């Protein structure tokens, strides 16, 4: 509670108002006031009051013994928080979000947004937002937390009129059913000494399972590194699936949520970890419902002694999918990536050695232990090994998550798994790993899709988010879409990304692109940005120029 | 890192930079090694001594085997690493980063706000042409703050200001808000700077590389004629600074890397300098027109010429001196007295006390130390034989546990407070014991909001706990102390259970604090006037000393006792004898051998009877025993307790000579006023709270016919029959070395070179002693420290039904002492223009005093003032606080002049008042 000067000797700055202090006290109840819960507490305020007013920030500062500036900078970082100043009206109670990322734009998001203008009013607002992870059903809109797939104005109006603003969870394998299917028995056999830590780690190494968030670091090797770190050490699970085109994590979570939890508990056993943190993107309200319920069920009737499992909620920031930004966010801070070294495995969450994994990487742990490493490596084409969960969207007949062998080509994937191209569409090119992988032309349709295979072409498989383009799409326009996305999602920390993405959008919004200058810009972003966001941001721009030269004539 | 590039310490890493083999010491980044070796790599977000953040990416280098470039400010060389900072690849990115940043500068050009913008420097160096990108949407200027202008159109988002505010000064006002291209430096919640909780330390201005944060009114745009390295004129922390002078005017101030401040300053030091150039400065000697016109009332600035006429120096000096001589002749030496000042230099203080002792012929010389730490010094001398601090602030903030008691350093010693806050961030425990909380308490592990004047109870109960739990340091007590049994017996009366309610502190908290202090490896106690300004001030200090002796928390690094000195030279003025019972170096005037020594040095006979203290002098005037005074730089008509009484006394003087830079309240009672020089207008040494003797250098010439204080003292001396012939401060300093053995080794030339030296420094070439009482040896007769137990006594004037509220005086960050300097400083007076009374919001409501918009009347048995209430939840209920810097609501009209029997310090920190709404005219 700082005080300050004023012309008539009154406190300048703000004095906490008792009314708001009481509201915050009531809202937080018995919850700890620890700094790392700041984002969680801000969610409580946003959920209750549909905004975070400066009165509430002041009261929260008081309650959490934090400077107001630190709360304000965190609250304004996350797009799902509506921070309002004194005298500013609070936003409309209902928010309709319309995805404007790659696939949705291809399927008419712009028009939908325009049409929805008519709905905007005192009680309803419409926001264009980045990828919400339902690209197979583009265009997508989220009414409140209720996703409307293949959205039209009519469907959205219907949802509003029927008061369908809260997501309904479809059926999935719950705790009881999972246990019936021998769930958690692999964990128990680990704990009961049927498996040795070394053997399990060796099995993962043999399986060649790699980090499925996009970076592809070998899972077994990561466990081995972490096992050798001193306690206390933590596990942080990344479900901030935000790469445009990606929806595989949501897919698995909505069907079989316990599988990755069992994987996490096995990892916990294998590396002698302490607490487990799960970071879930805020866009996945349904998954949150499932996880809240299932973690509770697990804790209520645990198969064995459980570590503390903390479920943390993102707040609308793609950058928090970057492992160190996620850690910052879990600590209640702005999601700004850390400089490395030191690496997360050594100095991670709360400064402790941290095993950080994408959710899907843990999803496969049970199968690999039960069925053996060979089962996993038996899959694959063109000498590539293992299975890949491809999130496929775009101009194909059967979009969705397709589990396919690593090393498959896009041509095979479209034909064998996606039912071919959509009627009237001719294959033109594809994003193999979401927006940041950049797009490749149809002429590279026979390249094996796997880690390390696409780098020579200026791309990568990343999270295996395939967006199939047809000749009706424009690589140039989609490159601009992607660059706008990176501009929107840049954390603002380093110059090449913060300024670079903005300048690039300006240059790319012009009819004629200044190609040499854009290449210079691309170079500094790739070479000098702090994290992968800035480093990969020029990929769509460069690949559009490189592989689709006819669009620039 | 600067220094000898050829010097290679033992533990180094060898790597290659641009083909050259280089050595890095532990913790040195590639950029720092490069700098040390004269290799230039552009950098913007990096600032020496700040945490490297690596965000601007101007310093990227190529490291063999790495996919991307690396920020050299955040990368540490590894053995055999091969680094290129000037390869085509590295330069390409460095240049593009600079071009991107330049494209978003105003007019895509040089910073219009800062002549030496670091961005411009590197843009020139790397020959960046006109940027090829469109500019961003620019933001407007924020000039809401009187001291600083915010021009975010020149911001490069390097976050040096955030680190300055959050990590260096720990004021936590600046944040980095929003995201991506919208990222923005904000104050609190994106408020105008002037409406935020900014405390205007200006660290952010000093940190900003491009001029997005600058002193207001483009003050720093003009190139200074001279840069003068000096010291801050305000508090006892003793920050080193640089005056930037143009056309005989200080234009702006920068912090200098001094041992006490590491380039930091506070609002007073950085922005409170222009009082020096205020048009109200006294520029001509003044003589009172009519002796009979004296009343106890104050004379307003506009009425000066009604009461005073201008005079030549010759006439004024003659008049001043003859008036003093006449009184000496008619009523004797003891009917004269002198007040020197803790704001003057050591040389001025030394000459002033010498003038009184050898010219007036008595020891009636004192200064405001009497009102600050007289009781602390009395206790320290009595128990451990030295009145100075045992450990310096810089060392104390390395302690595991810091107790800050009776002090609010974030207002009084702001830069010291920043180091305390830094220490808590590093994990030190901070225990604050204060009736009035502050922002510092936000960083405390324990905040004991004690009821006023119950310190003896609390401290005794802490010692009770330590002894009863066997946590005392038996070995230290046995070898290094006397009188433990007395203490042990005495504190048995004070169990935590017994005192808890009276002190307002829970039993378990008392015990916890006792254990923490006693069992930590290194613990230090800092205290301020909440301890000393009581009728039991000496007892308070005795308890703190006993606590340190009991646990052996003294005589080692990170331990000890540190009474935070309030004024820039209160330590030095006392060191050189500006107190009535001591000659220089604390030689008692009634000690025969000391008297002989000084009689020999000064070649005259001296009075062996201790002189009168500040408040006693006022009483002596009232009783008709004292008729003439020479007051240099003091303002008793504001600083003394029970001002009605003090002002009446001053008005009764037959002859009063006042030497000052402004027409102070005390000048209202003067017969002759001598216009003197301000801090920045003279050379001299000043001794800070850490015992650091520091050299202040003249930056500007005094205005009009104002003269150097040393010259004025010498001229008076000559006219009262002293044969003085001092040419310079340096010459006086040479004599101080003779008179003060503990400073004998300090030479002027070394000070001139090193700026700051710590005494004791007995022989030339010594390093000085930052920590005294090493190995538990005290400068007492037997080398041991003495326990002097203290029993609880109540304050002199307790609240009653009629006067139910406790009134204490204190400080506000922006104002200092009686306000003579700060209220003549444009920025400081703009920030705090009016008197306020700080009150708990609940009291305000309970007493029906309105919402805080309307003035209230504060009334004690002695006087009444009117001030605007400032609700502040930091202050406890039933207590109000006022600063005594405001002439229009002089807090000392209220205070009680009851004295501590040992230190003769008045009880500024406790009296009873009633509050009522002020009537509106």
Give the contacts of A533 (CB within 8 A, at least 6 positions apart). A318, A319, A322, A337, A436, A486, A489, A490, A491, A497
Nearest CB partner across the interface for B57, out of A1, A514, A528: A528
DSSP character string of A137-191? G-S-EEETTEEETT--HHHHHHHHHTT--SPPPPP---HHHHHHTTTTHHHHHHH
User: Is the per-residue pLDDT at A39 higher than 70?
Assistant: yes
Please tell me if residue B126 touches chain A, with a CB cutoff of 8 Å. no
Please tell me if residue B329 touches chain A, with a CB cutoff of 8 Å. no
Angle, helix A515-528 to helix B88-103, in steps of 10 degrees = 110
A97 bridge partner residues: A127, A142
User: Is the per-residue pLDDT at B296 higher than 60?
Assistant: yes
* CA pair distance B779, B122, nearest whole angstrom: 57
Lowest-confidence pick of A356-365, B290-299, B690-699: B290-299
Please name the helix (run of DSSP H) or strand (run of DSSP E) that holds residue B452, with its range, or none.
none
- CB atoms near residue A218 (< 10 Å): 16
Q: What is the pLDDT of residue B847?
A: 87
Please name the helix (run of DSSP H) or strand (run of DSSP E) that holds residue A370, with its range, or none.
helix A365-371
Nearest CB partner across the interface for A492, out of B93, B180, B814: B180
Q: How confident is the model at residue B857 (pLDDT cuts 50, 70, 90)?
A: very high
Q: What is the pLDDT of residue A113?
A: 97
Question: What does the angle CA A426 – CA A432 – CA A436 come to, to the nearest 5 degrees?
Answer: 120
Contact B93 A496 (CB under 8 A): yes
Contact in structure between B432 and B441 (CB atoms under 8 Å): yes
Can you read off the two tokens belonging to residue A137?
């059903």
CA nearest to B832 within chain A:
A5
User: Is the per-residue pLDDT at B116 higher than 60?
Assistant: yes
Q: How confident is the model at residue B675 (pLDDT cuts 50, 70, 90)?
A: very high
The fraction of chain B above a pLDDT of 90, given in percent, is 95
Is the pTM higher than 0.90? The answer reads yes
Average confidence score pLDDT of chain B: 96
Nearest CB partner across the interface for A8, out of B132, B157, B868: B868
Q: What is the pLDDT of residue B9?
A: 57
Nearest CB partner across the interface for B60, out of A334, A492, A528: A528
| Strand spans (E) along B34-183 | 60-63, 70-71, 82-84, 141-142, 148-151, 174-177
User: Is the per-residue pLDDT at B914 higher than 90?
Assistant: yes
Q: What is the pLDDT of residue A87?
A: 85
Contact in structure between B155 and B207 (CB atoms under 8 Å): no
Contact in structure between B896 and B784 (CB atoms under 8 Å): no
Give SS3 for A532.
Answer: helix
> Residue B815, CB half-sphere, CA atoms under 13 Å: how many?
25
Residue-wise pLDDT tens digits, B598-654: 999 999 999 999 999 999 999 999 999 999 999 999 999 999 999 999 999 999 999
Please tell me if residue B730 touches chain A, with a CB cutoff of 8 Å. no
* CA pair distance B241, B454, nearest whole angstrom: 39
* CA pair distance B296, B642, nearest whole angstrom: 13
Nearest CB partner across the interface for B157, out of A3, A4, A498: A498
Alpha helices in B584-728 (DSSP H): 592-602, 614-622, 636-639, 643-652, 709-719
User: Is the per-residue pLDDT at B664 higher than 70?
Assistant: yes
Average pLDDT for B498-505: 98
Residue-wise pLDDT tens digits, A51-102: 999 999 999 999 999 999 999 999 999 999 999 998 889 899 999 999 999 9
Q: What is the pLDDT of residue B850?
A: 75
Question: What is the distance of C-alpha B726 from the center of its chain?
Answer: 30
Q: What is the pLDDT of residue A82?
A: 97
Residue-wise pLDDT tens digits, B472-494: 999 999 999 999 999 999 999 99
Q: What is the pLDDT of residue B323?
A: 97
Contact in structure between B719 and B769 (CB atoms under 8 Å): no
Can you read off the two tokens belonging to residue A80?
């799902």
* CA pair distance B680, B827, nearest whole angstrom: 18
* CA pair distance B591, B614, nearest whole angstrom: 22
Contact in structure between B861 and B914 (CB atoms under 8 Å): no
Average pLDDT for B802-830: 96
Please tell me if residue A528 touches chain B, with a CB cutoff of 8 Å. yes
Residue-wise pLDDT tens digits, A343-369: 999 999 999 999 999 999 999 999 999
Q: How confident is the model at residue A13 (pLDDT cuts 50, 70, 90)?
A: low
User: Is the per-residue pLDDT at B7 higher than 60?
Assistant: no
Q: Is the ipTM of this complex over 0.85?
A: yes
Q: What is the pLDDT of residue B10?
A: 61
- Could you check whether the bond before residue A342 is cis, i.e. omega within 30 degrees of 0? yes
Q: How confident is the model at residue B551 (pLDDT cuts 50, 70, 90)?
A: very high
Average pLDDT for A454-469: 97
Residues of B in contact with A12 (CB under 8 A): 194-197
Contact B832 A13 (CB under 8 A): no
Can you read off the two tokens belonging to residue B787?
């326990």
Average pLDDT for B4-10: 52
Can you read off the two tokens belonging to residue A331?
């600590």
Q: What is the pLDDT of residue B651?
A: 97
User: Counting beta carbons within 10 angstroms of the beta carbon of residue B100, is it exposed (0 to 12), middle (13 to 18) or buried (19 or more)?
Assistant: buried
User: Is the per-residue pLDDT at A12 higher than 70?
Assistant: no
Contact B133 A54 (CB under 8 A): no
* CA pair distance B376, B395, nearest whole angstrom: 21
- Answer with the residue of higher pLDDT: B555 or B10: B555
User: Is the per-residue pLDDT at A45 higher than 70?
Assistant: yes
Report which of B69, B182, B93 is spatially closest to residue A490, judged by C-alpha positions. B182
Average pLDDT for A402-415: 98
Q: How confident is the model at residue A18 (pLDDT cuts 50, 70, 90)?
A: confident
Phi-psi category of B586—alpha, beta or left, where left has phi over 0 and alpha has psi -120 to 50?
A: left
Q: What is the pLDDT of residue B921?
A: 44
Contact B180 A490 (CB under 8 A): yes
Q: What is the pLDDT of residue A9?
A: 39
Please tell me if residue A503 touches chain B, with a CB cutoff of 8 Å. yes
Residue-wise pLDDT tens digits, B301-338: 999 999 999 999 999 999 999 999 999 999 999 999 99
Please tell me if residue A1 touches chain B, with a CB cutoff of 8 Å. yes
- CB atoms near residue B555 (< 10 Å): 23
Q: What is the pLDDT of residue A16?
A: 74
Can you read off the two tokens belonging to residue B561?
């006792």
The fraction of chain B above a pLDDT of 70, given in percent, is 98
B235 bridge partner residues: B567
Q: How confident is the model at residue B5 (pLDDT cuts 50, 70, 90)?
A: very low
DSSP character string of A20-40? HHHHHHHHHTTS---GGGHHH
A-to-B residue pairs, Cβ atoms closer than 8 angstroms? 196
Contact B195 A12 (CB under 8 A): yes
Token pair 């049409």 is at which residue?
A: A115
Give the contacts of B234 (CB within 8 A, at least 6 positions apart). B266, B268, B269, B272, B567, B568, B816, B821
User: Is the per-residue pLDDT at A10 higher than 80?
Assistant: no
Please tell me if residue A35 touches chain B, with a CB cutoff of 8 Å. no
Q: What is the pLDDT of residue B396?
A: 87
Nearest CB partner across the interface for A72, out of B71, B89, B189: B189
Please tell me if residue A53 touches chain B, with a CB cutoff of 8 Å. no
Average pLDDT for B62-73: 97
Q: Which of A15, A315, A503, A517 to mutate to test the interface with B (most CBs of B within 10 A)?
A: A503
Q: What is the pLDDT of residue B920?
A: 59
Please tell me if residue A54 touches chain B, with a CB cutoff of 8 Å. yes
Q: What is the pLDDT of residue A1?
A: 30
Average pLDDT for B118-133: 97
The fraction of chain A above a pLDDT of 70, given in percent, is 97
Distances from the Cα of B784 to the Cα of A149, A378, B384, B472, angstroms = 85, 83, 7, 17
Classify residue B135 by its DSSP letter.
Answer: P
């Amino acid at each position: 509670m700082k005080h300050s000067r004023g012309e008539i000797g009154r406190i300048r700055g703000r004095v906490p108002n008792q009314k708001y202090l009481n509201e915050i006290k009531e809202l937080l109840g018995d919850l700890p006031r620890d700094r790392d819960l700041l984002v969680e507490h801000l969610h409580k305020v946003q959920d209750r009051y549909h905004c975070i007013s400066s009165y509430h920030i002041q009261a929260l500062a008081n309650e959490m013994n934090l400077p107001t500036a630190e709360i304000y900078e965190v609250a304004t970082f996350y797009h799902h928080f509506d921070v309002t100043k004194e005298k500013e009206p609070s936003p409309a109670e209902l928010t309709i979000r319309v995805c404007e990322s790659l696939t949705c734009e291809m399927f008419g998001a712009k028009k939908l947004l325009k049409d929805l203008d008519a709905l905007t009013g005192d009680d309803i607002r419409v926001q264009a937002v980045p990828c919400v992870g339902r690209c197979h059903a583009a265009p997508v809109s989220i009414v409140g937390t209720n996703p409307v797939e293949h959205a039209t104005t009519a469907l959205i109006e219907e949802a509003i009129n029927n008061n369908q603003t809260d997501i309904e969870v479809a059926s999935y394998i719950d705790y009881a059913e999972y246990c019936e299917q021998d769930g958690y028995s692999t964990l128990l056999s680990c704990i009961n000494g049927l498996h040795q830590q070394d053997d399990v780690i060796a099995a993962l190494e043999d399986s060649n399972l790699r980090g499925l968030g996009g970076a592809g670091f070998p899972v077994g090797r990561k466990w081995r590194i972490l096992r050798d770190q001193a306690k206390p050490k933590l596990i942080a699970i990344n479900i901030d699936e935000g790469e445009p085109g990606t929806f595989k994590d949501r897919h698995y979570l909505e069907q079989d949520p316990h599988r990755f939890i069992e994987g996490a508990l096995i990892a916990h056993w294998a590396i002698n970890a302490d607490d487990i943190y799960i970071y879930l993107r805020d866009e996945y309200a349904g998954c949150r419902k499932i996880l809240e319920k299932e973690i509770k069920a697990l804790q209520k009737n645990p198969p064995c002694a459980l570590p503390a499992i903390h479920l943390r909620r993102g707040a609308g920031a793609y950058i928090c999918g970057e492992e160190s930004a996620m850690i910052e966010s879990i600590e209640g801070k702005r999601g700004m990536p850390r400089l490395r070294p030191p690496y997360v495995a050594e100095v991670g969450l709360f400064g402790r050695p941290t095993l950080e994994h994408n959710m899907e990487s843990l999803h496969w742990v049970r199968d690999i232990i039960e069925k053996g490493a060979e089962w996993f490596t038996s899959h694959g084409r063109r000498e590539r090994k293992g299975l890949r969960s491809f999130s496929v969207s775009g101009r194909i007949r059967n979009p969705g998550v397709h589990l396919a062998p690593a090393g498959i080509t896009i041509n095979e994937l479209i034909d064998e798994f996606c039912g071919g191209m959509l009627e009237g569409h001719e294959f033109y090119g594809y994003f193999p790993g979401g927006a940041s992988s950049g797009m490749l032309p149809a002429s590279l349709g026979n390249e094996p899709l796997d880690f390390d295979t696409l780098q020579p072409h200026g791309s990568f498989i990343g999270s295996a988010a395939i967006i199939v383009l047809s000749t009706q799409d424009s690589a140039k326009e989609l490159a601009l879409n992607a660059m706008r996305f990176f501009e929107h999602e840049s954390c603002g920390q380093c110059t090449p990304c913060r300024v670079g993405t903005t300048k690039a959008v300006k240059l790319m919004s012009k009819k004629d692109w200044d190609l040499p200058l854009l290449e210079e810009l691309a170079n500094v972003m790739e070479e000098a940005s702090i994290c992968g966001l800035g480093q990969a941001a020029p990929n769509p721009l460069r690949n559009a120029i490189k592989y689709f030269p006819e669009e620039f004539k | 890192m600067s220094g000898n590039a050829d010097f290679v310490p033992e533990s180094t890493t060898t790597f290659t930079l641009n083909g050259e083999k280089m050595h890095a010491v532990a913790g040195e980044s590639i950029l720092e090694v490069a700098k040390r070796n004269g290799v230039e790599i552009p950098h913007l977000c990096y600032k020496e001594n700040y945490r490297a953040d690596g965000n601007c990416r101007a310093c990227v280098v190529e490291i063999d085997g790495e996919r991307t470039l690396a920020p050299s400010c955040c990368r540490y060389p590894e053995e055999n690493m091969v680094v290129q900072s000037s390869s085509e690849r590295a330069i390409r990115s460095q240049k593009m980063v600079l071009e991107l940043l330049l494209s978003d500068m105003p007019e895509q050009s040089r910073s219009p706000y800062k002549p030496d913008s670091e961005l411009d420097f590197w843009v020139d160096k790397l020959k960046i042409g006109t940027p090829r990108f469109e500019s961003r949407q620019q933001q407007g200027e924020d000039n809401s703050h009187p001291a600083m202008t915010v021009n975010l159109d020149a911001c490069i988002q390097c976050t040096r200001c955030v680190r300055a505010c959050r990590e260096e000064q720990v004021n936590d006002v600046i944040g980095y808000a929003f995201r991506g291209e919208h990222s923005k430096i904000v104050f609190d919640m994106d408020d105008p700077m002037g409406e935020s909780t900014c405390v205007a330390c200006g660290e952010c201005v000093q940190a900003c590389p491009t001029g997005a944060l600058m002193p207001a009114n483009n003050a720093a745009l003009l190139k200074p004629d001279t840069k003068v390295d000096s010291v801050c004129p305000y508090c006892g922390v003793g920050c080193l600074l640089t005056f930037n002078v143009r056309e005989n005017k200080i234009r702006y101030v920068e912090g200098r890397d001094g041992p006490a401040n590491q380039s930091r300053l506070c609002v007073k030091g950085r922005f409170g300098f222009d009082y020096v150039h205020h048009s109200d400065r006294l520029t001509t000697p003044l003589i009172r027109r009519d002796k009979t016109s004296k009343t106890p009332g104050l004379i307003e600035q506009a009425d000066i010429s009604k009461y005073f006429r201008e005079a030549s120096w010759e006439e004024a000096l003659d008049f001043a001196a003859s008036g003093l001589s006449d009184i000496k002749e008619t009523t004797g030496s003891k009917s004269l007295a002198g007040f020197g000042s803790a704001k003057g230099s050591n040389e001025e203080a030394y000459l002033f006390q010498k003038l009184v002792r050898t010219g007036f012929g008595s020891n009636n010389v004192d200064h405001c130390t009497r009102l600050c730490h007289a009781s602390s010094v009395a206790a320290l001398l009595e128990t451990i034989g030295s009145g100075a601090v045992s450990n310096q602030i810089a060392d104390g903030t390395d302690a595991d546990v810091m107790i800050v008691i009776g002090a609010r350093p974030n207002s009084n010693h702001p830069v010291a407070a920043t180091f305390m806050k830094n220490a808590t961030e590093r994990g030190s425990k901070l225990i604050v014991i204060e009736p009035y909380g502050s922002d510092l308490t936000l960083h405390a592990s324990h905040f004991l909001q004690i009821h006023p004047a119950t310190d003896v109870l609390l401290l005794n109960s802490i010692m009770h706990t330590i002894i009863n739990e066997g946590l005392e340091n038996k070995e230290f007590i046995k070898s290094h102390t006397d009188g433990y049994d007395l203490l042990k017996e005495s504190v048995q009366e004070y169990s935590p259970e017994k005192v808890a309610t009276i002190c307002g502190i829970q039993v378990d908290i008392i015990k916890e604090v006792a254990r923490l202090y006693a069992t930590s490896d290194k613990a230090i106690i800092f205290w301020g006037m909440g301890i000393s300004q009581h009728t039991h001030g000496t007892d308070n200090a005795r308890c703190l000393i006993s606590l340190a002796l009991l646990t052996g928390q003294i005589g080692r690094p990170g331990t000890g006792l540190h009474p935070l000195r309030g004024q820039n030279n209160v330590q030095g003025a006392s060191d050189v004898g500006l107190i009535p019972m001591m000659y220089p170096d604390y030689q008692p005037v009634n000690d025969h051998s000391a008297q002989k020594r000084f009689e020999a040095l000064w070649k005259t006979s001296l009075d062996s009877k201790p002189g009168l203290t500040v408040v006693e002098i006022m009483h002596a005037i009232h009783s008709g025993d004292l008729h003439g005074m020479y007051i240099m730089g003091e303002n008793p008509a504001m600083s003394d307790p029970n001002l009605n009484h003090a002002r009446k006394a001053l008005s009764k003087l037959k002859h009063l000579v006042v030497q000052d830079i402004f027409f102070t309240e005390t000048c209202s009672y003067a017969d002759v006023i001598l216009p003197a020089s301000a801090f920045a207008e003279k050379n001299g040494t000043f001794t800070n709270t850490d015992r650091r003797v520091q050299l202040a250098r003249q930056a500007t010439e005094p205005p009009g016919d104002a003269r150097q204080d040393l010259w004025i003292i010498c001229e008076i001396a000559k006219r009262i029959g002293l044969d003085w012939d001092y040419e310079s401060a340096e010459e006086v300093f040479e004599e101080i070395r003779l008179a003060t053995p503990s400073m004998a080794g300090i030479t002027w030339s070394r000070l001139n070179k090193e700026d700051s030296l710590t005494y004791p420094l007995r022989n030339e070439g010594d390093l000085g002693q930052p920590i005294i009482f090493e190995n538990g040896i005290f400068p007492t007769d037997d080398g041991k420290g003495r326990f002097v137990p203290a029993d609880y006594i109540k304050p002199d004037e307790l609240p009653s039904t009629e006067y139910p509220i406790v009134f204490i005086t204190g400080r506000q960050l922006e104002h200092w002492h009686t306000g003579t300097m700060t209220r003549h400083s444009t920025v400081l007076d703009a920030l705090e223009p009016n008197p306020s009374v700080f009150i708990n919001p609940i009291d305000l409501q309970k007493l029906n005093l309105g919402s805080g918009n309307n003035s209230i009347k504060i009334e004690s048995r002695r006087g009444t003032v009117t001030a605007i209430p400032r609700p502040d939840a930091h202050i406890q209920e039933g207590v109000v606080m006022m600063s005594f810097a405001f002439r229009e609501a002089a807090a000392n009209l209220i205070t009680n002049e009851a004295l501590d029997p040992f230190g003769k310090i008045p009880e500024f920190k406790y009296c009873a008042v009633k509050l009522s709404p002020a009537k509106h005219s």
